[in-house]
Copies of this chain bind each other. A is one copy, B any other.
Amino acid sequence: MPELSAGDTAWVLASAALVLLMTPGLALFYGGMVRAKGVLNMLMMNFAAIGIVSILWVLYGYSLAFSTDIGGGLLGGLGDFGLRGLLGEESLSSTIPSTVFVGFQGMFAIITVALISGAIADRAKFSAWVLFAAVWATLVYFPVAHWVFFFDDGNGGWIGDRLGAIDFAGGTAVHINAGAAGLALALVLGRRVGWRKEPMRPHNLPLVLLGAGLLWFGWFGFNAGSAVAANGLAGVAFVNTQVATAAALLAWILVERIRDGKPTTLGAASGAVAGLVAITPACSSVTPIGAIIVGVVAGVLCALAVGLKTKFGYDDSLDVVGVHLVGGLAGSLIIGFIASAAAPAGVDGLFYGGGFSQLGKQLVASLAVLVYSFVVTFLIGKIIDKVIGFRISEDDEASGIDLAEHAETAYDFSTIGGGSRPHTITRAPSADSEKLDASANSSSAPADEKEGSVAR
């Protein structure tokens, strides 16, 4: 019987907080890359994903993913609905309290959904996104997390526990999954107005780098936290994460230096994320030297892969495919080649004399998640598009989704402060007007008229 380890608990609590931070980090990373007229929508898609998924997770998501399997390693039951049974001090997951494990794993569900948003920047109806997030988490993430992350002595998920594919922290369940979904959704929504005609360069690169920094920081919780203990395994995962990320960063900007003449900050940030993605499944099964190789491969492959969308003509706006799908595949498959028994997972890959067995498992796991995620996401996307419409109007897109969907603009550094007139609303929420109609509002609130109107 394992006992509570305060040390392990401390590390997983910290890790859970770190993984939560990754989603705001991602929001900034993505937000800096869109044009100034779409940054708020990008932030909103991410923060809304945190909102939606957190609640579903506590209600039934954790249960679907981590309760006793209902058969075939395909899905968990509903025994832990609402978590009521997990609140006591005696309820443990291995050496940590069950609720700490719930919290930690819930953050993975959140960021996986959030990752998808980068594929559909600047053009998705916010209501459609919110609906999509809820449905996708339910139909895609919760089952796939069960497949990959639920271990129960051979009666757990079919990919991790039964097949024996190695995905330490989510190369398949998180990155291939989100990447394939991003591709499907980019196809459902179509290209942005003006794509490849108008420049759509990042509006705020320091924001991108800030986001990348927070992602890197949080990813230590993601990877080293996946040891679910404060031990040597966590240490190896930590060091491998750091060095693979470093290698991918350098590899990406080296590709740029050779191909385009200049290493860019966007490349450095993208390379770092590509490295983090690729080392995610592999951080327990390769040596630090192996991790450098993972990083270099991911950096080079992803730097080339972000050009695919121009070749094939899909507008995966912020390269969810190029970075997460390709990086996730790279990291998952490379385990089959360079896994080393010197690393904690204790498995030798092809190059260390382990034969093709592990590689086969990695391939099956990767493809299964890729295909399932792509197909189901495409269907969800199409149905939402049919029923409520997934895209905003062309006019709204041109004038900016922030205004159209959120009635806000991101920045006001202007000295022309006087360009607008406030009309404060103090109506009760019962008076629900679906349309923004300022004149109607102010006339319906005569008490405010004097104070609120401009003194002309």
Contact = CB atoms under 8 A, between A and B. Distances in A.
Copies of this protein, total: 3
Contacts of A259: 425, 427, 429, 431-433
Given A18-B17, A411-B205, A247 B11 contact: no
Contacts of A264: 406-408
Interface in A214-253: 214, 216-217, 220-221, 224, 229-236, 238-239, 242-243, 245-247, 249-250, 253
Contacts of A91: 232
A216 B98 CA distance: 22
B424 A263 contact: no
A89 B39 contact: no
9 contacts: A7-B10, A13-B14, A13-B235, A23-B213, A48-B268, A97-B232, A259-B429, A310-B424, A310-B451
A16 to B, nearest CB: 6
A192 to B, nearest CB: 12
A210 interface: yes
B408 A266 contact: yes
A401 to B, nearest CB: 11
A28 B83 contact: no
Instruction: Choose among A224, A239, A427 the residue with the greatest number of B CB atoms under 10 Å from its CB.
Output: A239
Nearest to A92: B232
B21 A217 contact: yes
B106 A4 contact: no
Nearest to A221: B17
A177 B224 CA distance: 31
Interface in A258-301: 258-266, 268-269, 272, 287-289, 291-292
A417 B259 CA distance: 26
B224 A13 contact: yes
B16 A14 contact: no
Contacts of A288: 58, 82-84, 87
A311 B199 CA distance: 46
Nearest to A197: B455
Given A196-B422, A235-B103, A292 B58 contact: yes
A155 interface: no
A231 B448 CA distance: 52
Q: Does more than half of chain A's interface fall in helix, strand or loop, or is it mixed? A: helix
Contact of A426 (B47, B221, B311): B311
B54 A268 contact: no
Contacts of A11: 6, 9-10, 13-14
Contacts of A9: 7, 11, 230-231, 234-235
Interface string A30-74: 010001100110011001101111110110000000000000000
Contact of A204 (B103, B206, B434): B206
Contacts of A407: 260-262, 264
Interface string A161-199: 000000000000000000000000000000000001111
List the 8 closest pairs (A to B, CB-CB), nearest first.
A6-B7, A24-B213, A99-B235, A54-B246, A7-B7, A10-B11, A9-B230, A97-B232
Given A199-B417, A422-B196, A16 B238 contact: yes
Contacts of A245: 54
Interface string A117-135: 0000000001000000000
Contacts of A448: 310
Contacts of A425: 259-260, 307
Contacts of A78: none
Nearest to A252: B51
A344 interface: yes
B44 A265 contact: yes
A27 interface: yes
Given A99-B235, A100-B234, 9 more contacts: A5-B7, A31-B206, A31-B209, A47-B212, A51-B268, A84-B342, A100-B232, A262-B405, A310-B426
